[in-house]
């Protein structure tokens, strides 16, 4: 024999007699439910069945869908299958909507009290929180991607790429010198030991802290989460996030030899840059000296001396230019390899991270639904999430988030979603 009962979401379940009193998981919604003790009262009572004369009924679901007319027998079947959870019914020819529980009160398992539907306000609040969570996941994902792309090597390579793209075959020598001087000046501000080491550790810390803060925000907004989600809800996602971040840090750390190669190429470029720049900055004074030498020595001796010096200078200039160009090419190629390796490490782990957070937020929403059905105030949770702890005023931080929003807008972020996100993080236009 088996025991028939319902899960908290109204799904009809069957379990062997030996499972009475044990905890099981609903295969349809993953809710935790205890198997009730065996009881003979698992079907409609005789009095209740006799009181229902053959007639037609209409059904209105919690979501607002309408069905009918259907017969009393079909209505009974739907009720026992759990399809009328949070629904109301109307007898044909009447104007009032009633709960099916008032008709089939004897059909409910005596150990389980069917939850009452959430109020319209709480139902709307749950839907809005669900939409907010989708936007938050998208926002945090782009924040972490931007942080990864804003590493010192990528930024420095961008400056030199801009300098190269701005030049052409008709660019004047002084333009070439000016473009590369600016590139070296900008790159030197980020390619230093402090910034590189700081970025390596910040990538780990930023991911852990930002996603961890999201979990903590959910905890504070819903203090009763332990009752509806279990005491381990917050601890387990944080532990998973920490494990993934540690793995990410170790793999990024393995790229340090490649980072050192990039730094060595950059230092060689800095050393050769003055020698590369010298031929482009020469004026007519040097040419005048060569002419004076030719006139001073006179005849063929003077001409040969000037030509020999000029040839030596041209050959030396050519070697310096070739060496500088080779180091520049190697540096940009090594930076490209570094970025490729970094992305191959970062993006798969980012998907793991977002999967952990998404699962945690889905469980959080299930807890809010149960909370609302028990009479909890979900609107209060929504208001807490939309009330930032502080307004972002730091200019660098604001610029970072504006870059994130620009990228999201290009990917199709709606105005409504952007407005909600700005409200939640405290970033005013």
Residues 153, 34: one domain?
Answer: no
pLDDT at 223 over 70: yes
- Looking at every residue in the chain, the average pLDDT score rounds to 77
Which has the minimum average pLDDT: 2-11, 62-71, 120-129, 146-155? 2-11
**The pLDDT value given to residue 93:** 80
pLDDT per position as a tens digit, 226-252: 888 877 787 888 888 888 888 888 888
Residues 153, 73: one domain?
Answer: no
Residues 218, 335: one domain?
Answer: yes
Residues 153, 26: one domain?
Answer: no
Residues 377, 310: one domain?
Answer: yes
Residues 100, 175: one domain?
Answer: no
d(CA 41, CA 111): 11
Domain final position from 84, 107, 130: 107
Better-scored residue on pLDDT, 282 or 290: 282
pTM here is 0.61
Q: Determine if residue 5 is left, alpha or beta; phi over 0 gives left, psi from -120 to 50 gives alpha, anything else beta.
A: beta
Which has the minimum average pLDDT: 42-51, 120-129, 275-284? 42-51
pLDDT per position as a tens digit, 130-151: 999 999 999 999 998 988 888 8
Q: Has residue 233 been placed in a domain?
A: yes
Residues 208, 237: one domain?
Answer: yes
Q: Has residue 26 been placed in a domain?
A: yes
Residues 131, 68: one domain?
Answer: no
Q: Has residue 90 been placed in a domain?
A: yes
Residues 91, 177: one domain?
Answer: no
**The pLDDT value given to residue 117:** 54
Domain final position from 107, 139, 155: 107
Residues 284, 218: one domain?
Answer: yes
Residues 124, 103: one domain?
Answer: no
pLDDT per position as a tens digit, 63-103: 667 777 788 877 877 777 667 777 888 888 887 888 887 77
Q: Has residue 256 been placed in a domain?
A: yes
Q: Has residue 339 been placed in a domain?
A: yes
As to burial, measured by CB atoms within 10 angstroms (0-12 exposed, 13-18 middle, 19+ buried), residue 378 is: buried
Better-scored residue on pLDDT, 139 or 169: 139
Q: Has residue 166 been placed in a domain?
A: yes
> Considering its fold, how many domains does the chain have in total?
2
**The pLDDT value given to residue 138:** 92
User: Which residues form the domain of 202?
Assistant: 120-387
d(CA 356, CA 229): 16
Residues 50, 130: one domain?
Answer: no
Better-scored residue on pLDDT, 181 or 291: 181
pLDDT at 294 over 50: no
Q: Has residue 211 been placed in a domain?
A: yes
pLDDT per position as a tens digit, 397-412: 889 899 999 999 999 9
């Amino acid at each position: 024999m088996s025991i028939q009962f319902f899960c908290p979401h109204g799904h009809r379940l069957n379990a062997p007699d030996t499972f009475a009193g044990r905890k099981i998981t609903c295969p349809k919604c993953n809710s935790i439910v205890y198997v009730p003790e065996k009881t003979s009262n698992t079907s409609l009572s005789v009095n209740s069945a006799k009181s229902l004369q053959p007639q037609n009924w209409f059904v209105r679901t919690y979501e607002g869908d309408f069905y009918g007319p259907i017969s009393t027998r079909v209505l009974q079947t739907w009720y026992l299958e759990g399809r009328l959870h949070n629904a109301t019914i109307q007898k044909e020819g009447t104007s009032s909507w009633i709960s099916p529980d008032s008709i089939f009160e004897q059909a409910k398992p005596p150990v389980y009290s069917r939850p009452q539907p959430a109020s319209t306000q709480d139902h709307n609040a749950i839907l809005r929180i669900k939409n907010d969570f989708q936007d938050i996941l998208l926002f945090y994902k782009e924040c972490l991607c931007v942080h990864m792309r804003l590493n010192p090597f990528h930024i420095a390579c961008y400056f030199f790429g801009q300098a190269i793209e701005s030049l052409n075959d008709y660019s004047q020598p002084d333009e070439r010198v000016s473009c590369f001087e600016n590139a070296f000046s900008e790159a030197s501000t980020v390619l230093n030991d402090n910034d590189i080491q700081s970025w390596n550790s910040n990538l780990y810390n930023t991911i852990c802290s930002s996603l961890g803060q999201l979990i903590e925000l959910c905890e504070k907004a819903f203090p009763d989460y332990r009752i509806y989600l279990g005491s381990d809800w917050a601890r387990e996602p944080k532990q998973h996030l920490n494990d993934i971040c540690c793995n990410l840090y170790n793999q990024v750390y393995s790229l340090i030899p490649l980072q050192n190669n990039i730094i060595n190429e950059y230092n060689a470029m800095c050393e050769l840059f003055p020698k590369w720049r010298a031929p482009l900055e020469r004026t007519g004074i040097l040419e005048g000296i060569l002419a004076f030498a030719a006139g001073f020595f006179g005849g063929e001796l003077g001409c040969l001396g000037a030509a020999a010096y000029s040839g030596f200078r041209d050959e030396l200039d050519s070697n310096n230019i070739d060496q500088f160009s080779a180091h520049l090419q190697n540096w940009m190629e090594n930076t490209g390899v570094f970025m490729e390796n970094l992305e191959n490490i970062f993006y798969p782990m980012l998907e793991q991270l977002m999967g952990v957070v998404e699962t945690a937020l889905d469980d959080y929403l299930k807890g809010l639904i149960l909370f609302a059905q028990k009479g909890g105030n979900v609107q209060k949770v929504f208001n807490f999430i939309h009330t930032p702890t502080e307004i972002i005023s730091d200019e660098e931080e604001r610029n970072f988030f504006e870059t994130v929003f620009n990228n999201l807008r290009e990917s199709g972020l709606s105005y409504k979603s952007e407005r909600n996100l700005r409200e939640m993080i405290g970033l005013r236009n």
